[in-house]
Amino acid sequence: MNHDENYFLAGQYQLLADYYKYLDPQRHIYFYNMHYHHLQKWVKSIQAAPNRNTNERENSRLRFLHASPGIMAVDVHVNNNPVWKDLRYTNSSSYVDIKPTNNKIEIYQNGQKLFDGTLQANTGKTYTVAIAGTKDKLQLIPVEDDASVPQSESKLRFWHLSPDAPPVDIAVKKGDVVFSDIPYSGISDYLGLTPMTVDLEMRVSGTKDIVLPLNRISLKPDVAYTIVAVGLVKNGTPLEAIFLVP
Query: Residue 12's pLDDT is what?
Result: 76
Q: How far apart are the C-alpha atoms of 4 and 46, rounded to whole Å? A: 10
| Residue 55 domain flag | no
126/161 same-domain check: no
Strand ranges (DSSP E) for 49-176?
60-66, 74-78, 81-87, 96-98, 102-109, 112-120, 126-132, 139-145, 154-160, 168-172
Decide if pLDDT at 54 tops 60.
no
Query: Residue 36's pLDDT is what?
Result: 79
| Residue 235 domain flag | yes
Query: Residue 47's pLDDT is what?
Result: 56
pLDDT digits (tens, 9 = 90+) for 160-177: 999 999 999 999 999 999
| Residue 93 domain flag | yes
Helix (H) or strand (E) holding 219: strand 210-219
Q: Are 220 and 153 in contact (CB under 8 A)?
A: no
Please tell me the total count of domains within the chain: 3
SS3 state of residue 187: strand
Report, in this order, helix, strand and coil percent for the chain, each rounded to 5.
Answer: 15, 45, 40
155/114 same-domain check: no
Decide if pLDDT at 186 tops 70.
yes
Q: How far apart are the C-alpha atoms of 184 and 175, rounded to whole Å? A: 23
Query: Residue 97's pLDDT is what?
Result: 92
| Residue 192 domain flag | yes
32/64 same-domain check: no
Query: Residue 45's pLDDT is what?
Result: 72
Question: CATH no. for residue 208?
Answer: 2.60.40
User: How are beta strands 112-120 and 96-98 bridged, if at all?
Assistant: unpaired
Decide if pLDDT at 53 tops 50.
no
154/243 same-domain check: yes
| Residue 65 domain flag | yes
Query: Residue 139's pLDDT is what?
Result: 96
How does DSSP classify residue 71?
-
* pTM for the model: 0.81
Domain, as residue range, for 10: 1-50
Question: CATH no. for residue 88?
Answer: 2.60.40.1120
Q: How far apart are the C-alpha atoms of 26 and 32, rounded to whole Å? A: 10
What residues does 126 pair with on adjacent strands?
61, 145
Q: How confident is the model at residue 48 (pLDDT cuts 50, 70, 90)?
A: very low
Contacts of 216 (CB under 8 A, 6+ apart): 197, 199
